[in-house]
Structures are given as C-alpha cells and as structure tokens.
C-alpha cells in the first residue's frame, strides 16, 4: 500500500474519515492515478512517445469490422496524419489510402483480429479514399472517405 495512504489511514480517528480515505484511495486506483513512487515517472500515454505520433498533426483511428470501416474523424488538416487501424473483426483486414487523382497508395499491412497497425504520412489537401484490399471486402462495404483541408 502507498506510504502516503498508510500514514493518512493511521491518523484517521473516526469511521467517517476512514471511509472517506478508503473511497478516495479506491477511486484513485480505479482511475489510474499514481499518487507517488517510481511509477509516477512513467508516461501515461505510451503511444505519444513514438516518433510517428509526436510528429503527426492529426490522428485518425479506423475501426475495422466485417464489412465496415468506422473513422474517428472524417476530415483533418493537411500535414502529417497518423492512421491507426484497429481490427475488431474476426477476419484479417488492412487499410489502403489513396488521394483521388493520384496513383500512390499507402497501406498499413495486414492486421489480424485484435491487432493494430499504424501508418503516418504527410497528406496534402484533397479527398482520400480508404479501403480494405483483402478479397472482396471493399465491394462488401469496407471503404470510407477522408477530407484533408488547409
């Protein structure tokens, strides 16, 4: 038990105070708050320590299920954009990204069920098509559109 909490518990003289301290301790533990100790120095968001996440101007999470893509946002500002494909489905999925009028396609690679794949690219203004390239997934509805604006 945390030494700070132990000290407070020792000083409590009434049941009401003890109940309040216990409730606060349980609340802090459930919310992930670290009151003190070596764990307090760790980053609370490990993904923000990744180079691709730090340099990204925007973040788009793409949820994949049979046979659907859900985007966390449908438009972003131009610049570095990190895409995170999260496969909530039972089949393998990937994410292809292409600006309309371009022949360049970016791809996250295949995400097995339960896996995540990230891709960061510098995107210019325009409309981008997103789709799953596996088998007939695109034809069955695994596609979306992202607008990139100034």
What residue ranges do the domains of the chain occupy? 3-41, 46-149
Q: What is the mean pLDDT of residues 58-77?
A: 97
What count of other Cβ atoms lies within 10 Å of the Cβ of residue 31?
7
Task: Give the model confidence (pLDDT) of 76-115 as tens digits.
Answer: 999 999 999 999 999 999 999 999 999 999 999 999 999 9
Which comes out higher in pLDDT, residue 150 or 9? Answer: 150
Q: Tell me: pLDDT of 63 over 70.
A: yes
Instruction: Tell me what pLDDT residue 55 has.
Output: 67
Checking if the pLDDT of 29 tops 80, the result is: no
CATH code matching the domain that covers 46-149, chosen among 3.90.550.10, 2.60.40.420, 3.40.50.300, 3.30.1280.10 = 2.60.40.420
pLDDT at 28 over 50: no
Which pLDDT belongs to residue 11?
A: 45
Q: Which residues contact 35 (CB under 8 A, 6 or more apart)?
A: 2, 4, 5, 28
Greater model confidence, 121 or 20: 121
Q: Residue 18: CB partners within 8 Å, gap ≥ 6?
A: 9, 12
pLDDT score at 9: 42
């Amino acid at each position: 038990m945390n030494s700070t909490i132990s000290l407070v518990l020792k000083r409590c003289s009434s049941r009401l105070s003890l109940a309040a301290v216990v409730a606060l301790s349980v609340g802090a533990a459930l919310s992930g708050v670290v009151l003190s100790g070596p764990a307090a120095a760790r980053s609370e968001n490990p993904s923000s320590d990744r180079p691709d996440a730090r340099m990204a101007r925007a973040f788009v999470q793409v949820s994949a299920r049979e046979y659907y893509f859900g985007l966390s946002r449908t438009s972003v500002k131009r610049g570095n954009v990190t895409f995170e494909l999260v496969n909530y489905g039972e089949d393998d999925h990937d994410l292809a990204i292409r600006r309309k009028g371009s022949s360049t396609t970016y791809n996250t690679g295949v995400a097995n069920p339960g896996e995540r794949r990230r891709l960061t690219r510098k995107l210019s203004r325009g409309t981008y098509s997103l789709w799953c390239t596996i088998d007939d997934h695109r034809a069955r509805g695994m596609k979306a559109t992202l607008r990139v604006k100034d």
